[in-house]
Amino acid sequence: MHRLPIGTNVDIEGSGEILRISSLPSVGERRLALDRRGLIADAIFVHLPRPFTIIRAGHRPSEVALTFDDGPDSHWTPQILDILKQKRVPATFFIVGENGLTQRSLLQRMIADGHEVGSHTYTHPNLATVGRTQTLFELNATQRLFQAFTGMTLKLFRAPYFGDAEPTTADEIVPVLEAQNRGYISVGLHVDSEDWRRPGVAAIVANVVSGVLGATPVRSENVVLLHDSGGDRSQTVAALPMIIDQLRQRGYRFVPVSTLAGLSRAQAMPSLSPTDRVAAETDLALFDMLDFAVWGLRALFAVALSLGIARAIALTGIALLSARREARQTIPRIDSKTFVTVLIPAYNEERVIQRSVQQVLESADVRIEVIVIDDGSADATSEIVRKSFGKDRRVHLLRVKNGGKAVALNCGLALARSDLIIALDADTQFEPTTIARLVRWFAADDRLGAVAGNAKVGNRVNLVTKWQALEYVTAQNLERRAMARFSAMTVVPGAVGAWRRQAIEQVGGYPPDTLAEDQDLTLSVQHAGWRVIYDQSAIAWTEAPQSLRQLARQRFRWAFGTIQCVWKHKAIMAHGKPRGMAFVGLPQTILFQLLFALVSAIIDLALLFSVITTAASIHEHGYTAVQGDLTKMALFWILFVSIDLTAGLIAFALERKEDWTLAAWLIPQRFVYRQLMYYVVIKAIVQALRGPHVGWASIIRSGQVHMTGTTAPAGSS
């Protein structure tokens, strides 16, 4: 007995575009009879091999069924429904489930207007290339969504990329068989309008009319393929009335697909049984939640994009106005007799402490005393200070038990002899004129509590530090300038700032209960009625973390400290005083430094998912199918990036002698650096909600800070 392999052809019988697989392929059997010489004497075919057999039905001359794939679409489908209603034409819509998720009202309108609905899968994959599991998911998900939204069942089915009524290969037939085994009726087509190619209105009309008129007894042309989603369908909308009018003039009657299949509308979309309605109600809650999530994400994107653009424009405009006012402002004269105490808290700063103190001592036009507070260092910090400055009466060394930066500063403050205090991070280097420029403002304003300077990254040695240098330039020149304009500065940076001793003591000294003592003190001083201003020309060069890991640790501490400060000073917003801080400073901190990071992370993930799905759609559908959506997404992104880039360039323009080569990193910065910032803020928020204590995370010093790290000269003003 010899087995005969299955044939590769498909046996198609009948005429029409309603398809039913009537038999499956089977192997054949042949028995051979041999003579005495071993030669074949006779062959008996016990079973002949059989291919797939497909029965076609639905050939009804002078009747046409208009079918629309890929919808529903909030923009195009209503226009098509309006035309069909005006022309009194029934149609059949083969919906994609994920599109129907957010268009419940359109599905209900289709039914109310007398149209039929069929399944076109949930995500529109090529079922010939996916497994059985996904095929069943695609069918089941769309079915359950339609049942939940309408209380009716889908019976009609058209597989994506399978419009032809003569499938010829097993991979085309198997998905149809899976659907048929679950009670679906597969609908093919012979008249392809090719509107998905957007060939022009005249071409779409000609394709349909000539296709319908070309019907023969062996090839029906009853089913017309059009699309109500999947790209720009303006040509389809324009062509539809002409198609209807021209075919009617030739005597054709428009019917739903169920008529071609010999079914009633109730059979094509049967109502659910009472038992199934209970399950559908459960599904409805699930799909409603998914619908809410999708719309919520869209709204989140729109709000975040609008706020981001508005903030960039507002900060830029206010910063420009502030810069213009600064140009006309009378700057106080520098008094070389001014006496200033510089506090330098140090914990394991042996690499940078000598240079930091030396730079302060070289300050011009000001009298200086330096108090180095060794906060329990385990390295040679104190020894270096003694060895290098032991004979300099301006330098004092105070060793204390490790208790944190705020405690160390308060110990130093108790020994300070000046009414003007500068707290300097040990990794920071001042330009010769920085201190004089910071303290010159106090003599002119008795209510001035603090002056913030212009911190710059001095170790621009790799991509991570260059990104930070770029951030410092844009933040200093836009945000700090704008916030100063509203008396809403939330932080005088620890790297460069001058304080009135009376203001510090009035609020109880440097606060030890947050990780952002500089921000905490800034808020407390303003809450107590003191003013805070910004002097761009007072420049300090600070050492930034040189690795992403170190950067993440630093920024986590900053973000967690910001959360602590906002919570600690929430009474400012409750009481509305001081006004600038209550209505601008703290709200923008909460909105853009904390909440915006959460939203931006979600949007970035959604954008990444959108890029992946769009790429998949281009691969499967071609560029034309997604051109409209892709163009819209690209325009939004280009708009946002353009405004962001413009704001960054204006920031550089306001810092006239900055290194403009940094601006080249404005766009690349968006793809790694900002996502890291989102991560640390989210981590800080989660940690704050959990409530455990977060300690101070020290950053490894390299001692690579150079004041000549940019083209800005040491005395720039």
Count CB neighbours of 592 within 10 A.
17
**Residue for token digits 């790694």?**
672
Q: Is 639 helix (H, G, I), strand (E, B) or coil?
A: helix
Which residue blocks in 542-672 are alpha helix, DSSP H?
548-568, 570-575, 579-580, 586-588, 596-621, 623-654
**Helix 517-527 vs helix 405-415: crossing angle, to nearest 10:** 60
Question: Length of the chain in residues, anyone?
Answer: 717
Kindly state the helix (H) or strand (E) to which residue 399 belongs, with its residue range.
Answer: strand 395-400
* CA–CA gap between residue 382 and residue 378 (Å, rounded): 10
With a cut of 80, say whether residue 18 has pLDDT above it: yes
Distances in whole angstroms, Cα of residue 427 to Cα of each of 99, 307, 360, 384:
56, 36, 12, 15
Cα torsion 162, 168, 171, 177 to 10°: value is: 80
- pLDDT tens readout for residues 186-213: 999 999 999 988 999 999 999 999 999 9
User: What per-residue confidence (pLDDT) applies to 387?
Assistant: 94
Q: Are 372 and 347 in contact (CB under 8 A)?
A: no
| Element (DSSP H or E) covering residue 247 | helix 234-249
Q: Which residue has the tokens 């501490």?
A: 557
- Cα–Cα distance measured from residue 299 to residue 468, given in angstroms and rounded to the nearest whole number: 31
Give the up-direction half-sphere exposure of residue 17: CA atoms within 13 A in the CB hemisphere.
34
Burial letters 152-181, b for 16+ CB under 10 A, else e: bbbbbbbbbbbbebebeeeebbbbbbbbbe
Residue labelled with tokens 């962001």? 644
The pLDDT tens digits of the residues spanning 504-523 come to 999 999 999 888 899 999 99
Local confidence band at 2 (pLDDT 50, 70, 90 cut-offs): low
275 or 193: which carries more pLDDT confidence? 193
Tokens linked to 85: 């209603």
Q: Decide: 295 and 626 in contact? Cβ < 8 Å.
A: no
| pLDDT tens track for 623-663 | 555 555 666 667 777 777 787 788 888 888 887 678 888 88
Distance between CA atoms of 192 and 213, rounded to whole angstroms? 13
Sequence-distant (≥ 6) Cβ neighbours of residue 46 within 8 angstroms: 1, 28, 29, 30, 31
Using DSSP, state whether 105 is helix, strand or coil: helix
pLDDT score for 654: 81
| Residue 699 in this model has a pLDDT that exceeds 60 | no
The number of CA neighbours under 13 Å toward the Cβ of 488 is 21
Q: pLDDT tens digit string along 230-269?
A: 888 999 999 999 999 999 999 999 999 999 999 999 999 9
Q: Which residues are catalytic?
A: 69, 227
Q: What is the pLDDT of residue 165?
A: 58
Give the C-alpha separation, 143 to 137, whole Å. Answer: 10
Above 60 in pLDDT, residue 708? no
Q: Are 94 and 158 in contact (CB under 8 A)?
A: yes
Given this model, what pLDDT does residue 107 score?
96
How deeply is 322 buried, as exposed, middle or buried, from its count of CB atoms within 10 A (0-12, 13-18, 19+)?
A: buried
For residue 643, what are its two tokens? 């405004």
Say if residue 196 is exposed, middle or buried (CB neighbours under 10 Å; 0-12, 13-18, 19+).
buried
